Amino acid sequence: MYKLYLDSSGAILTIVVTKDDQVLASYSKPAFQKQTELALKTIDEILTKIKISLKEIDEVMITNGPGSYTGVRVAITFAKTLSVLNPRIKIFVINSLLLQAGLQKTISILSGYNNKSYLAVYDRGKEIITTQLVTEDAKQGIISDLQGYQVVSDFQDVDIVANFLVLQENAKDINKLEELQPLYLGDNFIN
């Protein structure tokens, strides 16, 4: 079974292709504000390199945010288009913050906008504090209150490929295309 993993929600573009849970090819490089132009081209290059076609992909797992508005839309549009071209394909989504946290005891933080951050807290893949947009003061308060949790920010020193693989069971199965929605957070969560 061929699986394709895609994260274009932030400054790093990550694409992984596996067969029977063995990595055939992976790409994880900076792509800040270049996700749109690099994602499809890189997927095509990877598939050509390993000599398979998009029609052979059985499952796709993408991140649905939070993160870059455009980056999140790239992955969602790719998954929706692929499901129209190949109706038998299974689509899964995972939160960008969970992808960053992996199965660790982690405060997962991604840079947001207006000096705010996206934040969630996980313990071995289980969400302890829900995904939210927080101020710097709120972020520091959560970090201070949760001693013993690893703090990970903006995918620094994170093995994204390994996390995609270990989090397969945590991904949400998308049964209808209408369920494939971006996770956008606004200022009305925590100020």
Give the residue extent of every domain in the chain: 2-97+157-179, 98-153
* Cβ atoms 136, 118 nearer than 8 A: no
Which pLDDT belongs to residue 81? 94
Helices 69-85 and 35-50 pack at an angle, to 10 degrees, of: 40
Q: Out of 67-76, 89-98, 119-128, 180-189, which region has the weakest mean confidence (pLDDT)?
A: 180-189
Distance CA 191, CA 135 (A): 6
Q: Does domain 2-97+157-179 have CATH number 3.30.420.40?
A: yes
pTM attached to this predicted model: 0.93
DSSP 19-78: ETTEEEEEEEEE-TTTHHHHHHHHHHHHHHHHT--GGGEEEEEEE--SS-HHHHHHHHHH
- Per-residue pLDDT tens digits for 111-132: 998 999 999 999 999 999 999 9
- 98-153 folds as Nucleotidyltransferase; domain 5 (3.30.420)
Same fold, 2-97+157-179 and 98-153: yes
Q: Give the pLDDT score at 184.
A: 86
Mean pLDDT of all residues in 3-15: 96
